[in-house]
Amino acid sequence: MFPIKESRFLSGDVKLFRVEAPRIARKRQAGQFVIVRIHEHGERIPLTIADSDVEQGTITIIVQGVGKTTRLLNQLEAGDAILDVVGPLGEPSEIKNFGTVVVIGGGVGTAIAYPTAVAMKQAGNHVITIVGARNQSLLILEDEVRATSDELYLMTDDGSYGEHGFVTQKLQALIDQGRTIDHVLAIGPIPMMRAVAEVTRPHQISTIVSLNPIMVDGTGMCGGCRVYVGKECKFACVDGPEFDAHQVDFTNLIQRNKMYRDREQESLEAFEA
């Protein structure tokens, strides 16, 4: 069992957990994730490690309650425990001094982008962070991201906070201003990542996205997480989750992620009934 040391909501349905997992805390690198199972008959879900504290032996995960399992998880509190936490899994982010790096986080994707922004800053990059959300109440980790960014732009779809507009509009504006951008990392909803890829493609700016396909084992055995990158089949859990945005087949990813939509909805409705 993995004891929960701290839990708190960051926004309406997004909750932060600090979980005791000393071996994972020691080994994890930016971009890696864990697979979590709450109870013996529960499904296994992947969650990015947002942070870790080696001295305390804890990792931080951030969960958006969108389906049955994530809502169950978000009912847990400090003092409870999670049955299984397996990891760190996946390939770490490629961290080096690119020069100027733009890190883009959409919604809860900000939690995934944050550790990479920290690592990019530590590697000596000038870090420009663009964080977007539908409205102010869904913006998370503002203080943490601000502390690690040389420049921070906050965008909301409804203009309730920061600037009114999408993250892609801000990225396009920076490019139009003639800013030198050496590398982009975008993490968030699939349409957002796809749109970022189309903004940077004509300028040949290297762009990485972190993919979120359905995962089961997280170790390359079930094939559930397969994605197509440059026409090659890759397993996001072992080959990713980060890939070259200009090579990703987003249409296939969207189709595969919809495969169990009806079952997921049934399960959620039964849970809420």
Question: Residue 87, Cα to own-chain centre: how many angstroms?
Answer: 16
Residue 259 binds to ligand FES (criterion: CB under 6 A):
no
Q: What are phi and psi of 117, to 5 degrees?
A: -60, -40
* CB-nearer residue toward ligand FES: 96 or 258: 258
Q: What is the largest CA-CA distance in the chain?
A: 54
Task: Give the residue with the Cβ less far from ligand FES, 188 or 213.
Answer: 213
Does residue 233 have a known ligand-binding role?
A: no
Q: Which one of 142, 151, 182, 217 is in contact with ligand FES (CB under 6 A)?
A: 217
Please give the full DSSP string across 190-257, using - where no structure is assigned.
Answer: HHHHHHHHHHHGGGT-EEEEE-----SSSSSSS-TTEEEETTEEEEHHHH-SEEETTTB-HHHHHHHH
Total binding residues for ligand FES by CB under 6 A?
12
Quick check: 220 binds ligand FES (CB under 6 A)?
yes
Neighbours of 187 (CB within 10 A): 29
Q: What is the DSSP string of 116-182?
A: HHHHHHHTT-EEEEEEEESSGGG---HHHHHHH-SEEEEEETTSSSSEES-HHHHHHHHHHTT----
Q: Is 225 in the site for ligand FES (CB under 6 A)?
A: yes
The binder of ligand FES chosen from 221, 233, 254, 259 (CB under 6 A): 221
Residue of 30, 215, 227, 229 interacting with ligand FES (CB under 6 A): 215
Interface residue with ligand FES, options 235, 242, 243, 245 (CB under 6 A): 235
Here's the x/- map for ligand FES, 161-200, by CB under 6 A: it reads as ----------------------------------------
Based on the shown chain and the rule CB under 6 A, indicate whether residue 253 belongs to the binding site for ligand FES. Answer: no
222 annotated ligand binder: yes
Q: Reduce the DSSP state of residue 24 to 3 states and report it.
A: helix
CA dist., res. 171 & res. 181, Å (int): 10
Determine whether the annotation assigns residue 208 to a binding site. Answer: no
254 marked as binding residue: no
Instruction: Specify binding-site residues.
Output: 62-64, 222, 225, 237
Instruction: Specify binding-site residues for [2Fe-2S] cluster.
Output: 222, 225, 237
| Positions that interact with ligand FES (CB under 6 A) | 215-218, 220-225, 235, 237
Instruction: Specify binding-site residues for FAD.
Output: 62-64
